[in-house]
Amino acid sequence: MKIRIDAERLWNSLMDLARIGATPKGGVRRITLSSADREGRDQFVRWAREAALAVRWDAVGNIFARRPGSEASAAAVMMGSHLDSQPSGGRFDGAYGVMAGLEVMRTLNDHGIVTRAPLEVASWTNEEGSRFVPVMMGSGVFAGIFPVEEALKATDREGIRAGEALAAIGYAGKPGAHKVAAYFEAHIEQGPVLEDTRTTIGVVQGALGQRWFDAAFTGQDSHAGPTPMELRKDALIAASRLVLEVNRIAKAYPDYARGTVGFMQVAPNSRNVVPGEVRMTVDLRNAEDATLRSMADDLERCAAAIAAECRVAAELREVVYFPPCKFAPRLVESVRRAARDLGFTHRDIVSGAAHDAVYLARVAPSAMIFVPCEAGISHNEIENARPGDLAAGCDVLLQAVLAQAGG
Amino acid sequence: MKIRIDAERLWNSLMDLARIGATPKGGVRRITLSSADREGRDQFVRWAREAALAVRWDAVGNIFARRPGSEASAAAVMMGSHLDSQPSGGRFDGAYGVMAGLEVMRTLNDHGIVTRAPLEVASWTNEEGSRFVPVMMGSGVFAGIFPVEEALKATDREGIRAGEALAAIGYAGKPGAHKVAAYFEAHIEQGPVLEDTRTTIGVVQGALGQRWFDAAFTGQDSHAGPTPMELRKDALIAASRLVLEVNRIAKAYPDYARGTVGFMQVAPNSRNVVPGEVRMTVDLRNAEDATLRSMADDLERCAAAIAAECRVAAELREVVYFPPCKFAPRLVESVRRAARDLGFTHRDIVSGAAHDAVYLARVAPSAMIFVPCEAGISHNEIENARPGDLAAGCDVLLQAVLAQAGG
């Protein structure tokens, strides 16, 4: 009989934490390095110390709560996520991964289990990126993606630097990363797949690579009445064709292809004027880098062909590239086995969005555990998840961690 | 040998008039019932009186400059257009039709010709509608489309009523329309057809009917990363398909069909969010009312089919309907014959936009004469036309008027 986490304690901790920065509509506003973020951190640190964990934080404010193992020199097996939220965020995005890690520690305490490797719960600074860019700042610094000095120079809209804000809330610690044997992050899916397929556990294979583009079509404004169809240079027709090509591309390619036009701006945007200019964005994602490259090539060919056929000028500029991330097969297998052994419905899934685990994967074997969220809605105050699903994900986390840390 | 107008005098009058409200980029800002409009009116009235015309204005400020005929009781043959401009307007839109009418009067004076029917030049109040709606206010009142009291109640953005503004510039006259035997309006084409086909004179058959719609598609916002293509409800894909259907419809139907989506607004309009809502407009035009109705029916079917296929909700609401206008065949033939007799290249054309002549056609036989404008551009400070083309249009106007008024 495997030990199990305390589902009620996990839920209560999540609900207690959600009181900090609570919004009237049931969500959370715990913007990074704000006073609400400090309160959230203080609460986590209090709970961690009550669980006899050793707490410290690094130069970018990442908090680590450590439980010793029997082999003192062994690298830690780490769990974690983030406590900051979107300006109108939900109760589970990020908070779940940190509270699940804490619940694993408490459960091991309850059963007096000592693992071989030490265990840690990490709370990464500024995952959301809504106040300071870069996003995933804390895990990015930890993984050496960018230097801590650069991260702390980031300024918000009021001109406050991240370094000042961090010092003001009392979480500026000493620099330096440490070795991690394995990293697990439990998270709500933030998408509809698990709910749609009535699955409890998503065994996350990795995260989609992303290529983001800015596109523009330039034709000629003209009066909608006196200008015959064959003499127009209508930028919106070109843009509309590109929207449909992006959709075709996303459906035509394998490997979890996705394609989105989320932004479009029409000029002069007047009812009876043929549009002379349209600016738009394209977001392409894929689990395989080569397929993602092919999608981008296809997009470029389409934009050029559409421009020629519509007699308008096209501009297409890539502005962001994140390569796909593949999680460590050994850890992914631990997650899958735990879900199976515990009798939870489970399926392989890829993360469409980036998470701290994507940066951790650059310096340590990493994996993620997804649980369903209601209607796939996240980054929204109405974000919701079921206590039973959250407990299931935490039980899977416990077993996967024990498999890596040694019982 | 037919008498000819004085091309240089016509051009000089146009250029003198263009100094009133001149903009730095070479255009004109003579907003209706403003002090610049008054100056323009005063100049026209001065010139008309210098040409021995009897000037008066009616309750909505339409100015009539009359030259007696030999048959005093005959209804007048009228020429005209408007002196107000768009906020950033050109030198020819409207002004040309009034100055051409004046030049016809001056030419008849030069040759001592007395027509059977009296002649009038009309300058209609507020054709543009950019300060006060309804547009084509003066000709609309004259034609009995709406009562003068209602027109004068219209307010601008500062809350000033049209009636106050009219009184303030000294052009509030006595109510009452009078009988018109025929109405001719010379105008720049405001489109590219004549220039594109190297034609000097457009023999205008009528004006396209118009049906304007507000459309909206409502799906579901979702994260561009975690949401697989098959679980999306993307409003922008639906909107893009409708843009292409509007284009197809405009190309598929006969009778000068036109279709335009000029306005589109995407929500939440964020790069990595699948759009949950798009609002857009559709502008359909056709020379035949039955064809225009079929185009609208086609549009409605398309919007419903697209909504079903994209799993979004569609809303389509007609907001404006102008029936097509057909000019009087006898007058149109006078224009065609004059162009032919004078040796000008000419072609039948329809007006894609509405003009004062469209309202006049409700109460009197009416026709229009189009001349080319550079690149089809109008409602813009860079609007331009060639002196030779303007003179040719005025010569055609002279002959057509003589044919109707009797020499």
Amino acid letter, A216: A
Q: Locate the chain A residue with the closest alpha carbon to B287.
A: A225
Task: Output the CA angle B369-B372-B374, nearest 5 degrees.
Answer: 155
- B34-54, pLDDT tens digit by residue? 999 999 999 999 999 999 999
Number of Cβ within a 10 Å radius of residue B221: 20
- With contacts defined as CB-CB under 8 Å, which chain A residues touch B206? none
> What contacts 24+ positions apart, CB below 8 Å, involve B292-295?
B292/B209, B292/B210, B292/B211, B292/B324, B294/B253, B295/B211, B295/B249, B295/B250, B295/B253, B295/B257, B295/B259
Q: Which of B242, B270, B271 to mutate to test the interface with A (most CBs of A within 10 A)?
A: B271
Residues B244-257 have a mean pLDDT of 97
Domains of chain B: 7-207+324-405 (3.40.630.10), 209-322 (3.30.70.360)
Q: Measure B374 CA to nearest chain A CA, in Å.
A: 12
Check: CB of residue A321 under 8 Å from CB of residue A101.
Answer: no
Q: Which residues of A344-371 are buried (b: 16+ CB within 10 A; e: fewer)?
A: bebeebbbbbbbbbbbbbebbbbbbbbb
In the structure encoding, which two tokens stand for residue B396, read together?
A: 């055609």
Over B252-297, what HEC string results? HCCCCCEEECCCEEEECCCCCEECCEEEEEEEEEECCHHHHHHHHH
Tokens, residue A8: 């009620």
B241·A244 Cβ contact <8 A: yes
Residue A317 clears pLDDT 90, i.e. is over it = yes
| Spatial distance between the Cα atoms of A85 and A94, rounded to a whole number of angstroms | 8
Indicate the helix (H) or strand (E) that contains B300: helix B289-310
Name the residue facing A244 among B237, B261, B274 (closest C-beta).
Answer: B237
CB B207 within 8 A of CB B353: yes
Q: According to the model, what pLDDT value does residue A345 have?
A: 98
- How many other β-carbons are positioned within 10 Å of the β-carbon of residue A70? 12
Residues of B in contact with A317 (CB under 8 A): none
Nearest to A262 among B264, B270, B379 (CB): B270
Residue B92 pLDDT exceeds 90: yes
| Position B90 pLDDT exceeds 80 | yes
Please check whether residue B351 is in contact with residue A226, taking contact to mean a CB–CB distance below 8 angstroms.
Answer: yes
Chain A residues close to B265, C-beta within 8 Å: 269
Predicted local distance difference test score (pLDDT) of residue B276 = 94
Q: What value does the mean pLDDT of chain A take?
A: 96
Chain B nearest C-alpha distance from A315 (Å):
17
C-alpha distances out from residue A111 to A6, A74, B218, Å: 12, 22, 53
Residue A184 is encoded by which pair of tokens?
């697990």
Nearest CA in chain B to A379: B223
Q: Please list every residue in chain B whose beta carbon sits closer than 8 Å to the beta carbon of residue A273.
A: 260, 262
Residue B373: predicted pLDDT: 96
Question: Which residue in this structure is represented by tokens 């679980």?
Answer: B231
Quote the pLDDT of residue B37: 98
Q: Residue B167 is inside which H or E element, if any?
A: helix B162-168
Tell me which residue has tokens 């979480």: A171
- Please report which confidence band the pLDDT of residue B176 belongs to, taking 50, 70 and 90 as the band edges: confident
In chain B, what residues touch A190 (CB-CB under 8 Å)? 223, 225-226
Short-list A146, A25, A26, A127, CA closest to A85: A127
Query: What is residue A72's predicted lDDT score, i.e. its pLDDT?
Result: 86
pLDDT for position B374: 95
Predicted pLDDT of residue B361: 98
Residues of A in contact with B292 (CB under 8 A): none
Does the distance separating the beta carbons of A224 and B352 come in below 8 Å? yes
pLDDT for A296 equals: 98
Give how far the C-alpha of residue B267 lies from the chain's centroid of Cα atoms, to the nearest Å.
34
> Cα-flanking dihedrals φ and ψ of residue B248, to 5°?
-60, -45
How much is the ipTM here? 0.91
Kindly determine whether residue B352 and residue A210, on different chains, have CB atoms separated by under 8 Å.
no
- Terminal CA-to-CA distance of chain A, rounded, Å? 14
| Rg for chain A, CA atoms, rounded | 24
Residue A203, helix vs strand vs coil: strand
Q: Write the pLDDT tens digit of every residue in B48-86.
A: 999 999 999 999 999 999 999 999 899 999 999 999 999
How far CA A340 is from CA of A212, A351, A403, B11, B120, in Å, comes to 37, 20, 14, 89, 93
Assess contact for A30 and A128: CB atoms under 8 A: no
User: A8: which residues sit within 8 A by CB, 6+ positions away?
Assistant: none
Q: What is the 3-state secondary structure (H, E, C) of B376-401?
A: HCCCCCCCCCCHHHHHHHHHHHHHHH
Cα B239–B242–B247 angle (5° rounding)? 135
Query: Does the pLDDT value for residue B407 go beyond 80?
Result: no
- For residue A191, give the nearest of B227, B250, B354 by CB distance: B227
Q: In degrees rounded to 5, what are phi and psi of residue A8?
A: -70, -40
The β-bridge partners of A320 are A212
The pLDDT assigned to A202 comes to 98
First-to-final CA distance of chain B: 14
Residue ranges of E strands in A352-404: 366-371
CB-CB under 8 Å, B237 with A243:
yes
Tens of pLDDT, residues B357-403: 999 999 999 999 999 999 999 988 999 999 999 999 999 999 999 99
**Cβ distance of B244 and A243 shorter than 8 Å:** no
- Sequence-distant (6+) residues with CB within 8 A of A343 are none
Reply yes or no on whether the pLDDT at A164 is more than 90.
yes
The residue of chain B nearest to residue A276, with distances taken between CA atoms, is B262
Residue B233 contacts by C-beta under 8 Å, 6 or more apart in sequence?
B219, B220, B222, B274, B276, B310, B311, B312
Are the C-beta atoms of residues A334 and A345 closer than 8 Å to each other? Answer: no
pLDDT band at B205 (very low <50, low <70, confident <90, very high): very high
Q: How far is B266 from chain A (nearest CA, A)?
A: 7
Across chain B, mean pLDDT equals 96
pTM metric for this prediction: 0.91
User: Å from A56 to nearest chain B CA?
Assistant: 33
Average pLDDT of the segment spanning A150-156: 96
pLDDT of the residue at A388: 98
For residue B199, give the nearest of B346, B352, B392, B377 by alpha carbon: B346
Q: Indicate the residue of B236, B352, B378 with minimum beta-carbon distance to A243.
A: B236
β-partners of residue B317 are B214
Please list, residue by residue across A43-56, b when 16 or more beta carbons sit within 10 angstroms of its beta carbon and e when fewer do.
bbbebbeebebebe
Q: Taking CB atoms and an 8 Å limit, are B351 and A251 in contact across chains?
A: no
Instruction: Give B193's contacts (C-beta < 8 A, 6+ positions apart).
Output: A226, A228, A231, B199, B202, B347, B349, B376
Query: Residue B169, by phi and psi: left (phi above 0), alpha (psi -120 to 50) or beta?
Result: alpha
Closest CA in chain B for residue A231? B192
Residues of B in contact with A295 (CB under 8 A): none
Which chain A residues touch B281 with a CB distance below 8 Å? 271
Instruction: Evaluate if residue A407 carries a pLDDT over 80.
Output: no
Structure tokens given for B344: 């000008």
Q: Which chain A residues touch B259 with a CB distance below 8 Å?
A: 229
> Looking at CA atoms only, how far is residue A208 from chain B in angstroms?
8
Cβ distance of B271 and A256 shorter than 8 Å: no
Q: Is the peptide bond before A192 cis (omega within 30 degrees of 0)?
A: no
pLDDT of residue A48: 98
pLDDT band at A174 (very low <50, low <70, confident <90, very high): very high
Shortest distance, CA A210 to any CA of chain B (angstroms): 9
Which of A240, A242, A280, A371 has the highest number of chain B CBs within 10 A, making it the mutation to test binding with B? A240
- A chain contacts of residue B248, beta-carbon cutoff 8 Å: none
Segment A393-397 shows an average pLDDT of 98
Residue A237: which of B212, B239, B244 has the nearest Cβ? Answer: B244
Nearest to B260 among A243, A250, A274 (CB): A274
Q: What region, left, alpha or beta, does residue A298 occupy, with left being phi > 0 and alpha being psi -120 to 50 degrees? A: alpha
The verdict on whether omega for the bond into residue A228 sits within 30 degrees of 0, i.e. cis, is no
Longest dimension (CA), chain B: 84
A366 has pLDDT over 90: yes
Identify all chain A residues contacting B229, using CB atoms and an 8 Å cutoff: 247, 250-251, 257-259
The CA angle B9-B81-B366, to the nearest 5 degrees, is 115
Q: Which residues contact A181 (CB under 8 A, 6 or more apart)?
A: A74, A75, A76, A77, A78, A117, A364, A365, A404, A405
Distance from CA of A218 to the nearest CA of B (A): 14
Question: If you average pLDDT over residues B247-251, what whole number do you get?
Answer: 98
Stretch B246-259: mean pLDDT? 97
Helices B95-110 and B387-405: crossing angle in degrees, nearest 10, is 60
Q: Which residues of B touch A224 (CB under 8 A)?
A: 258, 260, 262, 283, 285, 352
Q: What is the model's pLDDT at position B130? A: 87
- The residues, ordered by sequence, that sit 6+ positions from B278 with a Cβ below 8 Å of its Cβ are B216, B217, B235, B236, B238, B239, B264, B265, B266, B267
Q: How far is A219 from chain B (nearest CA, A)?
A: 13
Which chain A residues are closer than 8 Å to B223 by Cβ? 190-191, 352-353, 376, 378-379
Q: Percentage of chain A surpassing pLDDT 90?
A: 93
DSSP A135: S
Instruction: Point out the residue among B192, B244, B274 whose CB comes nearest to the CB of A241.
Output: B244
Residue of A nearest to B197 (CA): A231
Summarize the confidence of residues A153-168 as an average pLDDT: 96
Chain centroid offset of residue A137 CA: 12
pLDDT class of A66 with cuts at 50, 70, 90: very high
Contact residues, chain B, for A271 at CB < 8 Å:
212, 262-263, 281, 283
Q: What is the pLDDT of residue B96?
A: 98
